[in-house]
Chains A and B, each alone.
Chain A
């Protein structure tokens, strides 16, 4: 009697096969789900490369430097759009980086009470949540009419410069740059804020201890220590600015005529895709796919470079 119950207690219970099957099956399932990421990524690449094959055979690399876009003659060159993508994203970055980093410093250093700082942080994060199409709507009906007298004044005062050489007539590259600033500012601020918060307090205390002022510490100790994270954030923002579609499409004017002037309407690859893809057919689809491939390569390079920079530049304290 006792032996049998003891025997029951101490016999090794094997898992029933159904449970084993579930266990192994679940493991296989999550591996498959995880590899879906890779499959989707490869799928995107293959679709875009395959779609652009025809245009690539026809135009080769001259597609990248020609600015004609003529669906009637089936002549395509994406230079205007590539130039627009690079100019808008770089110039918006030029404005957004000082603004974003300055804001991040303002809400991480204790210049104002914590509650106020958290409020500003929350508002910047909520700005990131506003859909780009709503910002575009706002840009069309509020920002652009407000901006036009200022741009007109720029044209009249500095019209001899090639970048201000056309009269602003509504949508154009300059308003697009400003709306891009609004869109990437939250990214830069959020990442700069995180990297500033991660700087060890000892560094700051040491700087204060040898008698520096607050901004002496910020500019010479804290910012250099946080520079890797901030640079990574800036690169991510650059990638986002290049791929940003809706707000830019609504305000840039979508013109394929190349112009150096920032006040003239222009085009970016993303806005060209948004505008023409739906109605395109034949070789235009292939040319648009080619442009999409260029955009994808640009953002991929920027993003991978961003990840590399964060790994490479991160200071070891």
Chain B
């Protein structure tokens, strides 16, 4: 009896044996996964490093406020492109935020199942998957080629509209999800004291869901600011200061694209400088959005 128990629980087998095949596989897979994670992080570090070194070293007041130089000459800056990115993104936000928040309000507050609601949801998902270059083609066909906007072809507004198409699904989704997080009791309370649906939505649920919506909107704006493909044949490019919203306009992303493939070193350097400004703005917006959502969840 005692002998049987002893052989059943041999002391050796209670220790971890590193040479067992399964333990060796375990170590192997752990190292492999760690290696993969390292590879996944490496591009970010390398891109950031090069943008910081090659772009950051060029930053000066003149670079941020001057016009780009003529091909072949040196000096100059990216002032018009910074202003252009700001203007185009502003136009896009002015369109996408009201439309997207409205659509999100419909999905979260008004829809009660049914085909229309599922169609809008499906459409939002599909629209999020439409390649950005197709948005550019769409706005080109709709606005630029037909000269729909006061007879002007390429314009800052056309670029802004193209970007707003890209932003729209993000804003709708975050509004929808943010509103769904609002406790149902708040709505019942508001209706119970006699508020109309409009007052309930605008005074109770929307303010409550402000931070998740703001987070999503900031992320959407950051993504739009870096987009190039919808702008290359809607907003086009211009080496001059913006001449109004109905004229072609320079943006940082298109400037990077145009200047990166030029054979001149001054232009290539400006592309790096513009990358630095753009990456800093976008990473800053991302970290801000992250802080915003953490700030909201802690209170």
Contact = CB atoms under 8 A, between A and B. Distances in A.
Interface of A: 15, 19-20, 22-23, 26-27, 29-38, 40-41, 43-44, 47-48, 50-51, 98-100, 102-103, 105-107, 111-112, 120, 122-127, 129-138, 140-142, 182, 185, 189, 213-216, 218-219, 236, 239-240, 242-246, 249-250, 270, 273-274, 277-278, 285, 288-289, 292, 295-296, 299-300, 302-304, 307
B200 to A, nearest CB: 10
B109 to A, nearest CB: 8
Contacts of A236: 129
Contacts of B275: 133-134, 137
A183 to B, nearest CB: 9
Contacts of A214: 26, 30
B229 to A, nearest CB: 4
Contacts of B110: 27, 30-31
Interface in B177-191: none
A301 to B, nearest CB: 10
12 contacts: A19-B196, A32-B102, A44-B165, A106-B33, A129-B286, A133-B256, A141-B54, A141-B268, A215-B29, A292-B133, A295-B133, A299-B129
Given A134-B226, A274-B232, A278-B232, A30 B102 contact: yes
Most buried by B among A37, A112, A218: A37
A126 B134 contact: no
A35 B29 CA distance: 49
Interface of B: 22-23, 25-26, 29-30, 32-37, 39-41, 43-47, 50-51, 54, 98-99, 102-103, 105-107, 109-111, 116, 119-120, 122-127, 129-138, 140-142, 145, 165, 168-169, 172, 196-198, 201-202, 222-223, 225-229, 232-233, 236, 253, 256-257, 260-261, 268, 271-272, 275, 278-279, 282-283, 286, 290
A204 to B, nearest CB: 15
B103 A37 contact: yes
Given A30-B103, A34-B102, A131-B278, A137 B36 contact: no
Closest 8 pairs (CB-CB, A-B): A243-B131, A131-B226, A33-B102, A102-B36, A303-B129, A34-B106, A30-B106, A245-B229
A130 B129 contact: no
A48 B137 contact: yes
Given A38-B120, A250-B261, A289 B103 contact: no
A122 B289 CA distance: 13
A130 B26 contact: no
A130 B282 contact: yes
A126 B272 contact: no
Contact of B198 (A23, A122, A142, A242): A23
A243 B41 contact: no
Most buried by A among B225, B228, B275: B228
Contacts of A244: 131
A47 B165 CA distance: 14
Contacts of A125: 286
A189 B40 contact: yes
Given A36-B99, A295-B134, A126 B44 contact: yes
A40 B165 contact: yes
A270 B228 contact: no
Contact of B133 (A142, A218, A243): A243
Most buried by A among B45, B98, B103, B283: B103
Contact of A99 (B40, B129, B131, B229): B40
B37 A103 contact: yes
Contact of B272 (A136, A137, A185, A219): A137
A43 B25 CA distance: 54
A111 B33 contact: yes
B36 A40 contact: no
A182 B39 CA distance: 10
Given A133-B256, A299-B129, A44 B134 contact: yes
A250 B233 contact: no
Contact of A135 (B37, B47, B129): B47
Contacts of A48: 134, 137-138, 141
Given A103-B33, A134-B279, A137-B271, A182 B131 contact: no
